[in-house]
Structure formats: structure tokens, C-alpha cells
Amino acid sequence: MPTDIVPAEFSNTLGQRGAGLDPTVASFPGASYPSGNHVAHATRCYAGESLKERLPDLSEPFPKGVIPEEIAVAYGRRHVYKLVDVLALPFAELDGSERARALRYLIGLLTNQETKAETVTSNAAAPLVTLLGDPNKEVRKLTCDALAALAQLADGRVSIVTVAGIAAVTNLLKDKESVVREAAVGFLVAMSASADGAAACLASDGEVVPAVVNLLKDEDTTGKAKLSGVQTLSNCTLTDAGIFASLKSSVPATVLDLLSSTDALKLLDIKMEGARALKNLCQHTYGKVQCLEGGIIQVILPLLRSRESDIRLQAAGCLMGLTLEHEAKMPVAEACKTDLVALLRDPSPFIAENALVTVQNICELPDAREIVTQIMSEKDKEFVFNPQVMTM
């Protein structure tokens, strides 16, 4: 090494001083020199912490059982089964926050049919239903979300019904946390979206319809939860069993009150789903009676003028079923004649058809026919009373 670039205290002249070392050299940290006439100038290396990663790991490559402290997303065939095993651990072995993290990982994986099928195959419904009683509110909320994802599969609905999952979730409609109630009723929407799921909800020991009615009547219930609740009722009233259960729980009066509330003004979907539920109920004779007694005509009338075509469609369909009842023809003619005639020219053919059938039902009563025809043009009369149209 050239001496012109080496500090003076490290130069070879130090070796000429005999066995003794210069104090400045001895004070250098880590410096070590022989006692001879030659001094080593090689850089001394020390093993740092980073090198420990290169050392062999002598621990067992695959530990037996589940490691509670190690919650992560696995890959390949283990990516679902690992999380299900973690969620199946007893409450005492896993903290609530860690259990919530595992649920978030699992929900993130339930984005395709294949993963959902694997989750159902791993018998995830049983541990998930157990987690509905977890003290952590986030765990209860996320568990409802996970079950709602599984309810989109037929096998998933079967697995949930097998472990009495519907009744367990229905009990959470009375939970003190609003986010948990929203998630619970969201599960019921997903479960009742199919015919077999709606039948399972009606057959559940939890009595879904009364529980949803109580949720809608609660003043502390959020608008989002009310929307999901009325969606559940709409799904359940597609069958006679659902209509009977709804009439027993006074669903018509509850839905009519909801449509008149401020929540319906903030969320237009509440109007659409509420009108849909009333339309389903008006297909049954007893349903028509309860709707008339609850003042359905005055509630439906503003919906006929809505800018949303879906709301107009459901409202016109509601009156179409209602006017099959003899006692409803005259009240509907007096209150809704102008709007029904206007809907005959609606851009949507489905809305126009519902209005057409409603007007034809009204005109079966002579007095009601006279009221409606007074505001109809000749072209409208030719269309409504056309024999070919009336026999369709």
C-alpha cells in the first residue's frame, strides 16, 4: 500500500520503533498488530447481523398443529384451509384482533366461485357460526360478511342451514352494535336472494320475518340496515309461505311506514324495494286487504311520478295487483287516474303495460270507468279498449 495515502500512524515506519506500539495505533478500536518489525494493514472483517440469515435453520420445517401467532395468507391448496384451521381455534388460544385479521384475509379470498367452493368443502360454516358469539364486534361483523359470501353458493347455503346458521345470524339483529346489525341483515339478503335460501329463512327457528320487522321499527336502525331489511322482505314474499308469514307480522303496515319516513327520501332504493314488497303482497287477497287498510294508495301515488323507472315499474305493478280487488277500483280511479293515464305513454314498455292493465281493471267497474275516461284522449281510449289489447 502506498505510504502517501495511508495515515501516518499506520505507516511502515512504525515497525522501526521496536517492539512497542505507538499509542495512537493502540487506541484504534479493534486494532491488533504483531510485535515484530512488520505491521499488517489488511482490513479486519466482522460477522454482522445480516449474515445470520445465511446460516442454516435447524428448526422443524413443518411444525405440527396451527401456530396462533402466525396468521398469513398461504398459497396453493393451503390458502383457504390454513385460515379455516386458524378460525377453528378456541377463543382462549387466539386474540380477537388476530381472529379479525384472519377473517379479513379469508373474505379477501372469497372473490371467485372456486375459492368459495373450497371454503365450503373445508367445513368453514361450523367455525364461522361459532364466531358469531365472539366478544369482539369486528369479529361478529366480519363473520356475517363471510357467511354472506358463502350463501351465494347452493352448497354454501346447505352448509349454513346444516349448522343452524340462519337462526344464529338472526339473533344478531338485536345486537347493540349497529355495524353488526347491518352485517347480519346483509347476510339475510344474500341468503334470501334464491328460492331455496328464502325457503330456509322462512323455515328457520329464528323467525326471520318478525326479527326483520322489529329491526325496521327500531329508530336506531341505520338507513343501510333498513334497506337490507326491506330487501329481505321482498325476497321472502315471492311465495305463499312468505306472504302468510309477512301478513302475520304486519309487514304491509311496517313497509308503508318506512316508505313515508325520511330514510326513504335519502335512499331511493328503499322506495323501490318497498314498492316491490307491496307488489308481492298485493298478489294475495289477504295482502290486498291489509294494504288497503294501511293506506297504500296515498303512499304509492307519489311513486308513480318518480324519475326512477324501477320505482315507477314497481308502483304500477302494485296498483295492478291491487285493482283486482273490487273494493280497490274506485279509490284507485279517484286518486291515481291522471298518473295512470300518463304512464300509458311511458318510455318503458313494462311500465306502460302495468298501467294499461291497471286501467283496464279499474274500468271493469262502470262508475270508475266513467271517472277515468273523462281525462283520456280518443287515442288512449282506442288503445285501452281495443279488443285485441284487452284479450292479451
pLDDT digits (tens, 9 = 90+) for 219-252: 999 999 999 999 999 999 999 999 999 999 999 9
Tens-digit pLDDT profile for residues 300-352: 999 999 999 999 999 999 999 999 999 999 999 999 999 999 999 999 999 99
Let me know if residue 319 belongs to a domain. no
Residue 164 near residue 198 (C-beta atoms within 8 A)? no
Let me know if residue 3 belongs to a domain. yes
Let me know if residue 20 belongs to a domain. yes
Let me know if residue 333 belongs to a domain. no
369: phi then psi, degrees, rounded to nearest 5: -65, -40
Q: Which residue has the higher pLDDT, 93 or 64?
A: 93
The three three-digit cell numbers of residue 129, written as one number: 357460526
Q: How far apart are CA 332 and CA 170, in angstroms?
A: 38
* Average pLDDT of the residues in 37-61: 56
For residue 89, what pLDDT is reported? 87
Model confidence at 48, pLDDT cuts 50, 70, 90, reads low
Q: Report the number of distinct structural domains present in the chain.
A: 1
Let me know if residue 2 belongs to a domain. yes
Q: How far apart are CA 268 and CA 385, in angstroms?
A: 35
Name the residue range of residue 37's domain: 1-44
Residues present in the chain in total: 392
> 369-375 long-range contacts, Cβ below 8 Å, gap at least 24?
369/333, 371/330, 371/333, 371/334, 371/337, 372/333, 372/337, 372/340, 372/341, 375/337, 375/338, 375/341
Let me know if residue 1 belongs to a domain. yes
Residue 326's alpha-carbon distances to 213, 281, 318, in angstroms, are 29, 17, 15
pTM exceeds cut of 0.75: yes
Count of C-beta atoms within a 10 Å radius of residue 188: 32
Question: For residue 140, what is the enclosing H or E element?
Answer: helix 137-150
pLDDT at 69 over 80: no
pLDDT at 56 over 50: yes
Q: How far apart are CA 389 and CA 222, in angstroms?
A: 46
Tens-digit pLDDT profile for residues 139-148: 999 999 999 9
Let me know if residue 313 belongs to a domain. no
* Average pLDDT of the residues in 56-63: 58
Residue carrying the nine cell digits 512504525: 14
Let me know if residue 342 belongs to a domain. no
Model confidence at 18, pLDDT cuts 50, 70, 90, reads very low
112 contact partners, CB below 8 Å, separation of at least 6: none
51 contact partners, CB below 8 Å, separation of at least 6: none
